Structure 1
Amino acid sequence: MCKKHFLVFLTFIVFLLQNIGAQTFADKSFYLIDSLDLKTLTEKDKVLIDTLLQEYHESKEDTSKLNCLNVLISECDNEIWVQYNNLLITKSKQLINKESKNIYKKHLASGYNNYGFYYYNNDNITKAISNFEKAIQLSVEIDDLAVIPTALNNLGYIFKQQGDVLKALEYYHRSLKINRELNEQEEVALSLNNIGSIYYYQKEYEKAINYYRDALMIEKEHGSKKGVARLYSNIGSIYKEQNKNTLAIDYFNQSIKIYTEIGYSKGIATSLSKKASIELSELNGENDVKTLNQILTKHKQAYEIFNELDDNEGRAYSMCNISLTLEALKDFTGAKKYAEKSFRIAKEIGYPESIKSAANILKNIAVIKKDFEEAYLMQELFYQMQDSISSESVKEVTIQKQYQYEYQKKFIKDSLATAEAEKIKDLKYNQEIKQQQTYVLVGFIGLLLMGIVALVIYRGYRLKKKSNYQLEEKNKLIEEKNKEITDSITYAKRIQEAILPANSLLNKHLIDGFVLYKPKDIVAGDFYWMHPLENDTVLIAVADCTGHGVPGAMVSVVCHHALNRSVREYNLTEPGLILDKTREFVIDTFAQNNEFNVRDGMDIAICAINYKNQTVQFSGANNPLYILSTNNNTISSLPISCKIEEGYNTVLYEIKGDKQPIGSYTNELSPFKTHTISIHKNDMIYLFTDGYADQFGGEKGKKLKYKTFKKLLMLNCTQKMDDQKNLLNKFFNEWKGDMEQVDDVCVLGIKI
């Protein structure tokens, strides 16, 4: 080659390399890291990085610079965040070496936690655990709780996947405790979800679903759509295991809908696979090739998503499902191929649950192919993985006792150390006193003063003894009077209970229903009432009389008697007319003595339920009627004022009563309206007083309110009526906590 041509060629190469470099990599002096190709960033990530790095360069404070890096790392979707995390850790360590401030250590702990997350996603579990533990150790050292619960949650998940169930449960509960202290509601929901997953894998489905539901309520109020979708998917998994396939598919569909809205592909893949697995189980061994191929397509779609995300756990899970579908299609060669791939990945990442599933499929295929040696080996491996997941629960009581012993041992040790310190302190004090006693005059005056004080104390002791004796006598008298009053009120309770409907009457006419009755005091102002009519009709009412305790109970007797007279003496059956006549009796009763202006009465909701015609006649004095329908039935003949709310696969109809009580509160009394509503089989009717919704409690000591009460009814409407009662009672007690019950509570539910 001639020299001229060589120089032209060399110039071209240099020009080309310069242009490639200029087009590919961003300016390191601004972007701080090597080899950043801006073309690989989404517009969102580009704006985020530019904005935060501009603030980084303009800031003069090191703390502000570290804050900018931390926000960039947490918000950036592109994996370039790992390089910025390297920078965060490097700068934090440099600043700590210059000046050991806690704020620098806090950022370093955050960097370790981010590394743990990165290594976990790349299946380097050992490094993931190491970095999470470093984050916790450093946070404990500086007494900062912010990073600790997240790291504990991540460690718990790793230990659960490794089959160390007890350790996972311990980490989840530690995370839950700290998040509650920090009032991080979204993180509390995540911890509850994770604890629920432990019970799910232990097949304790009732415990699991309780944790999932608690988490779901928090996510809906404080959390994210992603969290709500995750819990819908998990609750669906429980219904799948309980063979409640219709409910399970419904929850999976809700999950897929939300995941699709927010564009979370991993969640879509997981819920899609679960839904397809139910469709496979419902075939019951039928060789429906068309349906099986549709199911296979769904599992392969899920696999493609997990493959794009480079998610080995998802790959193993989806390949297991593909293998099961191919087995149903009698394609045993294909089934074995996918099962072996799933088995290989599961062993690499060390997840017993995935190994167990793959081993079970391989065992079934080996039996079909009459390879009994292989079948035996896979069956043994299946049992081994099963034991690694569930056997820890057998050890749980022993380990808890060990924890208790270690705690008590530490407590005793600490107590002895404290006592020893107090003893040394007393000795030093006595030595100082002895030195001071060398001054004779001071000592003499001290003795004299002590004598005077002793006389005063003795005289005070005698007087106090006398006073205590007199006080004791008065207390005895008060206790006797108090016992007499309490005995009287307790007897009054027996009288009040006698006027309530007998259990035999309730069981006869409320075939599927419940009554939650919780008086605030021994006797109550709330009561419930029933009167059977002809033609398969029954009158039912729930009333709230003025006040509670003894005054409320006295008013309740008057109002109860007035209701009975209206029906038995005047043969009234229409709820509105019954309330008109009851009001007349109550006003007359309290108006007999003109010296006292008694304005007491009651709020009430009353229904006439015709089981045969499936109609409800309702009238109310200040109190409403709730009707819940779960069958997508349209309820007809609703009043204009009816309020309708939808959610949790149910519809709640609120029919309001008239805004006037039973009693004398104005000179103009309007007749009570009667509303007639057509209902359907399995619809639910609820009558109640205001005591449940008015209860104060919760973390902030606020009112429970009707919004939460409605949500509880809608959320639990698929449960049996007795279970609904227990769930309402449990939630009320947990909400109230250590606070005083503010009013009587009465809730009556009926399923048609």
Structure 2
Amino acid sequence: MVQTNAQTKTIDSLRQVIKTAKHDTTKINAYSAWGEQIYMQLPDSAISLWKISEKIANDLLASHPGTQIAGTTKKLLASSLNNIGYIYQMKGNIPMAIEYDSKSLKIYEEISDKKGMAASFNNLGVIYYNQGDIPKTIEYYLKCLKIKEEIGDKKGMATSFNNIGMIYNDQGDIPNAVENLHKSLKIKEEIGDKKGMACSFNNIGAIYKNQGDIPKAIEYYNKSLEIQEEISDKKGMAESFNNIGAIYNYQVSVAKSRQDFAGSDSLITKAMEYYRKSLKIREEIGDKKGVANSFNNIGTIYDQQASIAKSRQDLIGSDSLIIMVIEYYRKSLKIREEIGDKQGMAVSFNNIGAIYLQKNELRNAKTFCEKSYQLSKELGFPENIESATRRLKQIYEKQGNYHLAYEYLKEEILMHDSIQNQENYKKTQKQQAKYEYEKKSATDSISNAKAMEIKNIELSRSEEVKNKQRVVIYSFIIGFLIILIFSIIIYRLFIQKKIANVILSQQKEEISAQRDEIETQRDLVTEQKEHIEEIHKEVTDSINYAERIQRSFLATKELLDDNLNTSLRGTASHDSSSGKQSFEDETNYFVFFKPKDVVSGDFYWAGKLQNGNFALATADSTGHGVPGAIMSILNIFSLEKAVESGICEPSEILNHTRKTIIERLKKDGSPDGGKDGMDASLICFDYETQKLTYSAANNPIWIIRENSLIELVHDKMPIGKHDKDQISFIQHEFELQKGDVIYTLTDGFQDQFGGPNGKKFLTKNLKQLLIANCQLSMEEQKKIIENALENWTNDNGVQYEQTDDITIMGIRI
């Protein structure tokens, strides 16, 4: 919870008052005030405090009925009930909101507290407005306005005019909307209500925005913002920043539809700037609902950027931005779930589902869209239901479930018609004034029309008799013809049925014989299938057991965490002059290890050398699958044997490993001995000198520094029998700097076939992918690599089989 020092002191004081209070009314007041201090940050806790007030008040009324203290207690009770109703309204729990506001209104009416009655009428109007019940909304707003005029509450009158103006705006009656909003503004200017003036400017700006007059909208939003900054109304400032951001966001959509990508980029920057300003203030004041809305809005900006990147054929950039979209939508959802904002949750579920649908991840899309659908049905908002059913229809269409797709289509149309009926109601309201005028004009001409009407009635009676006679004659003729045609059709169907029965009897005998033969063959196939499945299970179990054995030889997470996270940990900082960002990640490394089969020829190994340095190897053994896995175990054994003998230099470790492999494979029975082995890189970290010592055999080592890739030199020969196996591997040193990102890898990713033309991914594309994302956290980089591989091997429905084992390790200094 975010609290200011003053707020904390106030709450401490209220606790002390409750502890020492001698009168129950004092306690009621204190609990009520405490709830008002925290309702923005902790709405559920505020409800609990107000319910304590409610209980104390009810107990006091039960023990002191009819006394002077009862009047004061009832007023305090009504205030607590009103507050609880407001929170339930904010959380989207409409039935509970109506229940508590109605209880509050009843008590205010009992004690003739007109100001309280007006507040309850206003709250109920807001609830019915959110439900889309415009007649009820207007009824309660007018009741509220009437009371405020009676008691001379000018500030309250201004609020009512404002609310009525917004109703006219929703109904599309712009002249009446502007008139009521200006009435509200005039009163606020008279009484010097600057906060209210800012609200009026904001609402007038919203009307101009809806009318498409963007310059006027921004003018009024800025007027609102200027006053809010003057009076330090932080909540209002956040709202104004958000509204201005929404205008720029809308203009992005317009520019994008015109293919004006350059214009879109500048508008996106503006929208993001204002959305982040709004977010910062909302976080400062603990406005959780506002923070959730800001996260959602920032997510829509990233979604716009991803769409533009895709239009520019920048698929890697688009995928990276989609990750940001999901991240911000999930942040918004998390807060909405915390505060119980059900309508907001429905929107978030739908937004996340739409992104997964866009990514063709149908299972995730279905999960989130179904949650949105259930919540929207519970709340009864047609717009949300229509959106959720549209997404579910699209999902089931893609899954080939056309029955469910059709069911959701019907509900989508039903919701669309419901929304359309509301729109038609608005149009009807607009025509009301015109109708009243035409009605008056028609009344003036009624007298002249009477005589003509009588004459027309007499003529129409004669014509009506003739028409009835014609109808009887024509009905008889048509009925006879229908009966005749129907009889002919029935007779023909009877004859066809007799013929069909004879044919069916013959076919039934043939089918019976064929069925017996098919059942015999089916039993044989079933028996063979069960035998094959049994063999397959035994083979699969053996391979899975081999995979567990192989995994025990790989570097463990604990070993990597201890030596890469602890020793290479950096401190997060931002260099404002260069724009570089360094990180303090949860982890300083990632391992992307994806065998082609269950077991792998690729492996990664790590260990401590006797000189205290930490060694890390990434290797590609000859072959893949079971043969590659067996070879990898021999290679790891040979590598560990070299280290255990006390060798600390990378080149000598590789030389010793090669010698062991060649000696072992001499016994394979071939004339020259086996030529198998591995390609590998071995890097050693000296944490004290920040030096990297390495030796590499056919495997690359890349270092990205300040968005530039440095490719370290490697020997072009394998670790195994080769025409150069008498030549020593070369050892190199490299001075590391903070922020360097080291990548060691095998050739599996680069050689993977896929994409639009079924070609290899290539080394240059992998380098570009790593450079483009090196500034992200290591976990995010790993996700982007995973997504890039998935997209490359699944292009427009064409699924490419994995070509080779894949290993990529990334380490940030």
Range of TM-score over shorter length: 0.3 to 0.5
Indicate the structure with greater helix content: 2
- Of the two, which has the highest radius of gyration? 2
Q: When the two structures are superposed, what TM-score results if normalisation uses the length of structure 1?
A: 0.45
Q: When the two structures are superposed, what TM-score results if normalisation uses the length of structure 2?
A: 0.42
